[in-house]
A = this chain, B = another copy of it.
Amino acid sequence: MAQDETQVTALDLAMADPLSDETKAYFAKCEEKLGMIPNVLKAYAFDERKLRAFSDFYNDLMLGDSGLSKLEREMIAVAVSAVNHCYYCLTAHGAAVRGLSGDPAFGEEMAMNYRAAVLTEKQKAMLDFAVKLTEAPDRIEEADRQDLREHGFTDRDIWDIAAVAAFFNMSNRMASATDMRPNSAYHRMAR
């Protein structure tokens, strides 16, 4: 629950020291592009192998080629994180939805209840699938995949919707398990 400013999680796991040149370069790039080093990266940096595995996985998923736009991937991230009430991910990815959409209220809707947002039917189907996969993965059936196809998604798109929703079910749990604290800068972004 509580920790002082210098800790990014409730676990006593110090960053590797010294950091490798590779990590230093990665963090420098974050500072340059985002104006900060996201705390999730600092949290993984107690073990640079884990940091690299996490960031490789993340960057391919959220920034790599996909039939889903970056905004759509962030919408899934936030709608999933809302189900799991994840403070870290709602803060960091809520800021991303506000920024990418240029619509602060839309970011809030994703973080509070995506059903309150004005969505295309295709986007609604995408988020309904992501949320069902979050709440009751064992109940996904062929009919759910078929519904996505009928809304215009390809099988590759379905993989990507599932992959983003599944990833945030992992990240939400890492953040909750460790009480990961978001960088305070996120709160003011794109308001």
Cβ of A176 under 8 Å from chain B:
yes
Contact assessment for A176 and B140 in the assembled complex, using a CB-CB cutoff below 8 Å: yes
Smallest Cβ distance from A63 to chain B, in angstroms?
12
Known contacts A112-B86, A184-B105; is-contact A142 B174 (Cβ 8 Å): no
Known contacts A138-B86, A187-B105; is-contact A177 B173 (Cβ 8 Å): no
* 29 examples of A-B residue contacts, CB within 8 angstroms: A1-B117, A10-B142, A11-B145, A11-B158, A49-B60, A86-B112, A86-B113, A87-B109, A90-B108, A90-B112, A91-B108, A91-B112, A104-B188, A113-B138, A115-B141, A116-B179, A133-B173, A133-B176, A137-B173, A137-B176, A162-B174, A163-B174, A165-B177, A166-B169, A166-B171, A166-B173, A166-B177, A169-B170, A169-B173
Interface SS majority for chain A: helix
Cβ of A102 under 8 Å from chain B:
no
Contact assessment for B1 and A142 in the assembled complex, using a CB-CB cutoff below 8 Å: yes
Cβ of A29 under 8 Å from chain B:
no
State the copy count for this chain: 6
Contact assessment for B137 and A162 in the assembled complex, using a CB-CB cutoff below 8 Å: no
Set of chain B residues within 8 Å of A34, measured between Cβ atoms = none
Set of chain B residues within 8 Å of A69, measured between Cβ atoms = none
- The interface of chain A, by Cβ under 8 A from chain B, is 1-2, 10-13, 46, 49-50, 52-54, 56-57, 60-61, 64, 82, 84-87, 90-91, 104-105, 108-109, 111-113, 115-119, 124, 129, 133-134, 137-142, 145, 155-156, 158-159, 161-163, 165-167, 169-174, 176-179, 184, 187-188, 191
